[in-house]
């Protein structure tokens, strides 16, 4: 069964979703509609040409109110308010909310209450969604009866969570400290614009190419949502001028002293086994650009592992902040779309047939 999605916001994340879906006919996801303030022509151009990903491997054209991607027609809307978008008319089941503007669960829910979609996946660490579901860590807690608006947290949260999950399951983990170094985001400024920034911290309006900019984003709270056993965490988060490719580091204390080899073996086994797709493992010396187009939440780098005799451990992973995260958004869209209970009428019919 294929899940039909609509994308609100055809920016870096929205277009990554479109590229991934176009490249993966077996994914079980199809795009029925997109909404953005931009014209359909600009949406098509943004998908055809990309400074990070290169030219679109196929055809993209704008035709009346449709975006045509490799002969697949996608309805294009241009509404500013989410409650105006007629998702149901376009056959959309699950909306991926990727504008960055409607991160609040209450606002995102209007895609359901007004637009007629069944479920919403917010592409960011949302405010009060029904659930935060990090793939590979707690996505199995999804409850179709309770969870209509869900969020996978952020790209950094996912990278940290999968490494924490392996350490926690294999060795026990507490006293955790994390760092994320994030590639440039679209909302950052090329020149100082501390008044123009929508962010509270004026440093986030400083010129992105000039500085390492601290961001007081509370990444640790969301790792704990997925893995409450690890307890309180400390965290730091920095924005840097690289165009794509980000870094996550996590340190903590294990229940018993472990060796570097044990940690790396545990990560390699998880990457080849239960966490395949969300965790990748690469022993080749890696720098951030090497992770570009990697679909995992985290590309584990065994050269970053350190341990101490008293149970201290430190690990390092890379992540493509757009591509890996967009893959998780699609995983989540498929999860909530597939497990959406059938409407009452058809449910009653299937009971009577049984």
Ligand X SMILES: NC(=O)c1ccc[n+]([C@@H]2O[C@H](COP(=O)([O-])OP(=O)(O)OC[C@H]3O[C@@H](n4cnc5c(N)ncnc54)[C@H](O)[C@@H]3O)[C@@H](O)[C@H]2O)c1
CA dist 308 and 215 (Å) reads: 29
Bridge partners for 60 per DSSP: 69
Shortest distance (Å) from residue 254 CB to ligand X? 29
What element of type H or E holds 21? Answer: helix 12-23
Only segment of 5-13, 214-222, 234-242, 288-296 that touches ligand X (CB under 6 A): 5-13
When asked if residue 10 is in the footprint of ligand X (CB under 6 A), the reply is yes
When asked if residue 148 is in the footprint of ligand X (CB under 6 A), the reply is no
Only segment of 96-104, 229-237, 279-287, 298-306 that touches ligand X (CB under 6 A): 96-104
When asked if residue 196 is in the footprint of ligand X (CB under 6 A), the reply is no
What element of type H or E holds 352? Answer: helix 344-353
140-160 exposure pattern, b = at least 16 Cβ within 10 A, e = fewer: eebeeeebbbbbbbbbbbbbb
Judged by beta carbon, residue 183 or residue 266, the one nearer ligand X is 183
- For residues 183 and 242, the answer to whether their CB atoms sit within 8 Å is yes
Which of 3, 4, 5, 8 binds ligand X (CB under 6 A)? It is 8
Q: Which residue is nearest to ligand X (CB)?
A: 11
Write down the H helix ranges in 71-218: 105-108, 110-113, 155-171
Shortest distance (Å) from residue 12 CB to ligand X? 3
> CB under 8 Å to 84, separation ≥6 — which residues?
114
Is 155 assigned a catalytic role?
yes
Judged by beta carbon, residue 178 or residue 305, the one nearer ligand X is 178
Which of 80, 89, 229, 232 binds ligand X (CB under 6 A)? It is 80
> CB under 8 Å to 26, separation ≥6 — which residues?
none
Residue 181, token pair as written in the block: 């170094």
Which of 32, 98, 133, 149 binds ligand X (CB under 6 A)? It is 98
Which of 155, 167, 233, 280 binds ligand X (CB under 6 A)? It is 155
Which residues of this protein are in contact with ligand X, per CB under 6 A? Answer: 8-14, 35-38, 80, 98-101, 103, 123-124, 154-155, 185-186, 321-322, 325
Give the residue numbers marked as catalytic.
155
């Amino acid at each position: 069964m294929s899940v039909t999605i609509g994308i609100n916001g055809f920016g870096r994340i929205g277009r990554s979703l479109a590229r991934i879906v176009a490249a993966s006919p077996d994914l079980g996801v199809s795009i029925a509609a997109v909404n953005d303030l931009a014209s359909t022509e600009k949406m098509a151009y943004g998908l055809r040409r990309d400074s990070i990903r290169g030219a679109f491997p196929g055809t993209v054209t704008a035709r009346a109110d449709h975006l045509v991607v490799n002969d697949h027609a996608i309805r294009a809307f241009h509404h500013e308010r989410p409650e105006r978008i007629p998702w149901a008319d376009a056959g959309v089941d699950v909306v991926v909310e990727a504008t960055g503007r409607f991160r609040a669960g209450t606002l995102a829910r209007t895609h359901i209450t007004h637009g007629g979609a069944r479920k919403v996946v917010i592409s960011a660490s949302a405010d009060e969604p029904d659930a935060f579901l990090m793939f590979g860590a707690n996505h199995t807690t999804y409850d179709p009866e309770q969870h209509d608006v869900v969020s996978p947290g952020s790209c950094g949260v996912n990278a940290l969570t999968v490494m924490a999950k392996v350490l926690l399951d294999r060795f026990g983990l507490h006293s955790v400290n994390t760092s994320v170094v994030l590639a440039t985001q679209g909302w950052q400024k090329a020149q100082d614009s501390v008044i123009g920034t929508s962010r509270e911290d004026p440093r986030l309006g400083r010129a992105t190419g000039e500085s390492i900019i601290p961001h007081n984003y509370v990444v640790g709270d969301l790792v704990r949502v997925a893995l409450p056993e690890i307890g309180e965490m400390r965290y730091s988060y920095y924005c840097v001028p690289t165009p794509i490719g980000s870094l996550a580091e996590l340190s903590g204390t294990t229940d018993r002293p472990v060796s570097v080899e044990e940690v790396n073996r545990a990560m390699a086994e998880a990457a080849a086994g239960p966490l395949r797709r969300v965790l990748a493992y690469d022993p080749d010396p890696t720098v951030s650009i090497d992770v570009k187009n990697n679909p995992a939440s985290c590309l584990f780098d065994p050269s970053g592992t350190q341990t101490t005799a008293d149970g201290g451990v430190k690990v390092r992973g890379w992540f493509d902040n757009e591509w890996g995260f967009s893959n998780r958004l699609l995983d989540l869209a498929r999860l909530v779309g597939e497990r959406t209970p059938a409407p009452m009428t058809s449910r009653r019919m299937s009971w009577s047939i049984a």
